[in-house]
Amino acid sequence: MRLPSGVVTMLAVVLNSGVGLAAPPPSQPANATPPPLPPGVSATLWRLSVPKGSEPTPERVALGEKLFRDKRLSVDNTVACMTCHEPELGFTDGKPLSEGVKQQKVTRNSPTVLNALFNATQFWDGRSATLEDQAKLPILNPREMGMPDPDTVVKKVRGIPEYVTDFQKVFGREPNFDDLAVAIAAFERMQFSGDARFDRFIAGDSKALTASEKNGWALFNGKARCNSCHAGNAVSPLFSDQKFHNIGVAAHKQDFVTLARKGVQVVRTGDEKQIDELALNSEFSELGRFLVTKQENDVGSFKTPILRNVGITGPYMHDGSLTTLWDVMDHYNKGGVANPYLDGGMQRLGLTEPEIDDLVAFLFTLTDTKFDKLNKEQLAKQRARKNTRPERDTATAMGKKGNLGDLAPNPDLNVKNPADLGIYGDVTPVTTTKQR
């Protein structure tokens, strides 16, 4: 398996030294055997994604879950990690923009924790390399959990007797900020997901998907060109290229050129805390990956999200501006919103309404079966809004106005239909009876 871009950085965990921090926790023997994994997650992927020495032990996971759910980690005891990443909601909060202490709204949508351990980088703009780094920043962000500094966090945690006991048991020392992040990251590394109807279908159960859903999978790999950034295959079973793209989501509300010029003067490259605050608290949020790299071609670019469980993790996009998957398809169908930094792969798709319906149907098959009830509820809610389509522009999508290029060639599905092939497009015929 080829190591995804950025994973090398993710595997090199660098722990800072200073007040409230600690030396790396005592090394533990590498766990060569991963925990029981669902069909859509391979043991190889798990081993590549979990740094040696960071394997989630039961003790670390239990402590991490307690910390993840504890509102006392916030400055006023009102917000926990779970506030924006509710397990029963697919580890999201279901809101366009999340709210932190004192009901302050941030400027980004909360991505799911599910499968976050496989991300090459964390956050929409990739500003953190590891889950440990990611766990620290919301605690310190003034609009999220509002703690002023690591010292204050550690002092508060050391004042809670149960945590003094827990940290001594798990790490053999008093609570410190690094170990706190290690524990939360251990809990998050156990939130993998890959047992969807799609997984049963791709393993050979031809009846796992309906005819409409199979056609959606074919369109996903063909006319709709979703697989350009969201390829689903044995190497990339999570439906993300782990890269950053400007697809024009925020272009209608930002003058990117002016904003980028201002950003160059303000952003301090490498200052993780400043970048975190600019990402969530300021007008510069829409610069996306540019905040991290200060590279012009990253203006307005955000990370390609994992599509697993996409049916239950809306609203969609970095700013939560698209309510339904029909809205998402309408956005792509018209080629996004033109701007000087638009990704070169964005162009009109020319999808018909029945084709959009089939694509949405397919996307809902990527939700883990443990969320079946929620998935059905969300599909019903989104379908009820199907006639409310603020992103819809059929004339542009069909090439009757604008200039967003010709349509990509569409393969003859009678010759080679992705929905009739084996494991992630393996040409080995599936032995079960096909349902056409």
The catalytic residues are 144
Per-residue CA distances from 137 to 178, 205, 258, 317 (Å):
12, 43, 28, 21
CB 52 within 8 A of CB 39: no
CB 1 within 8 A of CB 45: yes
Can the peptide bond before residue 315 be classed as cis, meaning omega within 30 degrees of 0?
yes
- Cβ neighbours of residue 240 closer than 8 Å, sequence gap 6 or more: 229, 230, 303, 304, 305, 306, 307
The two structure tokens encoding residue 77: 């005891």
Q: Bridge-partner residues for 301, per DSSP?
A: 288
Query: Exposed, middle or buried: residue 349 (CB in 10 Å: 0-12, 13-18, 19+)?
Result: buried
Distance between CA atoms of residues 36 and 186, nearest Å: 15
Residue 167's H or E segment, with its range, is: helix 161-171
Distance between CA atoms of residues 222 and 4, nearest Å: 24
CB 145 within 8 A of CB 74: yes
Distance between CA atoms of residues 256 and 328, nearest Å: 22
Distance between CA atoms of residues 134 and 184, nearest Å: 10
Sequence-separated contacts (24+) of 316-320 with Cβ below 8 Å: 316/109, 317/109, 317/249, 318/108, 318/109, 318/124, 318/249, 318/250, 318/288, 319/96, 319/97, 319/107, 319/108, 319/109, 319/249, 319/250, 319/285, 319/286, 320/95, 320/96, 320/97, 320/108, 320/109
Distance between CA atoms of residues 321 and 314, nearest Å: 10
Angle (CA) 317 365 209, round 5°: 150
Distance between CA atoms of residues 168 and 160, nearest Å: 13
Residue 245's H or E segment, with its range, is: strand 244-245
CA atoms within 13 A on the CB side of 79: 24
